[in-house]
Structure 1
């Protein structure tokens, strides 16, 4: 008892011991089975890494889409404020026109100057409002574009996740056709990822 130690086996230790006990079986069995295990393990590691990158890109494009949509909303509010300002100037111009028509001849020039000023200010306000509306439309377009790319990244990530699941099933069942399906689904995911990168 003096030199004895107490050791508790965790699940990982149990799997390592199990693998060591059956190493002889693998060595005497088909070498293609061992090769398949190694191939799927490497494939899973690579696809999981690429999938993590795709997931990050999907999150980034979604954040950009939200930011751009927010910018569009701000610009739309600014444009609305400009149109309200334009309407206020129009109202003042109408009142000045009525005042000019009712005023004596010596005061008509005063009101006409106001009318001319309001007309000039209205043109400037209108141009500014239209410019801000164009900016809002541009932000909306950029937001829609980012959301489209986000959906592409999400599709690519999902395909790679399905591929990893197929790899696990192929590893458990040792079915060669499942390995081909695994590679095929991964190829589809990578192709969609390339489309996302190209903003297609």
Structure 2
């Protein structure tokens, strides 16, 4: 619209204005309310989808960190195994009076390796737990995305219903919106 009173708009704009002005309580008014509700709920679902996707990424990152820590422990375990092997070889090769020192080292390495092994296994379990939680978040993210998509399709059907003035399209809008709400509920319930 310009300052000189000249107004240009497309046929879709004209239809929407006409429906809102001349039929506020009829089909146009109903579709306007339905569309507003769908858009609002869709925005919330979209936010939840983004949040669960971000959480899944953070949990996957935590899993990778724990896996790296476990790998470091296993490398430490291998280093201790190498030292134990050298002590075992030395115990066989040295004179009898020096053998006790190496036997003592062998026992110390065995004890240290057992502790390191427990730490590595614990870190691996923590990594698996983070992976599992990440997968759950991604599943929930997909549900939120499906719900958001269904609501977007429903909004598009509402526009078509308004333009065509077909009552069955309004019912299709409500049905698709219902699918979106059900998918959103499934996501909220972690199903």
TM-score by length of 1: 0.87
Partner of 2:142: 151
Please state whether the residue corresponding to 2:190 is helix, strand or coil.
coil
The answer to whether 1:139 aligns with 2:130 is yes
In 2, Cα distance between equivalents of 1:171 and 1:11: 21
Q: How far has the Cα of 1:19 moved from its partner?
A: 3.9
| Counterpart position of 1:61 | 52
Structure 2 residue runs without a partner (length 5+): none
C-alpha distance in structure 2 between counterparts of 1:159 and 1:198, whole Å: 18
Instruction: Name the Cα RMSD after superposition.
Output: 2.2
1:8 Cα deviation from its structure 2 partner? 3.9
Is 1:89 aligned to residue 80 of structure 2?
yes
The one of 7, 24, 28 equivalent to 2:4 is: 7
Residues 102-134 of structure 1 show CA distances to partners (whole Å, capped at 9, x for unaligned) of: 111111110011001100000000000000000
The alpha-carbon deviation at position 53 of structure 1 amounts to 0.2
CA–CA separation in structure 1 for the residues paired with 2:18 and 2:127? 62
Correspondence for 2:37 among 46, 70, 73? 46
Per the TM alignment, residue 10 of structure 1 is displaced from its structure 2 partner at its CA by 4.7
1:165 aligns with 2:156: yes
Any idea what the Cα deviations from partners look like across 1:75-117, whole Å, max 9, x if unmatched? 1111011001000100100100010111111111100110011
Q: Distance in 1 between matches of 2:79 and 2:30?
A: 73
Structure 1 unaligned regions, length at least 5:
1-5
**Structure-2-length-normalised TM-score:** 0.91
What is the match of residue 111 of structure 1? 102
Distance 1:92 1:52, change over 3 A: same
Question: Larger C-alpha radius of gyration, 1 or 2?
Answer: 1
1:120 to 108, 111, 122: 111
Aligned residues: 185
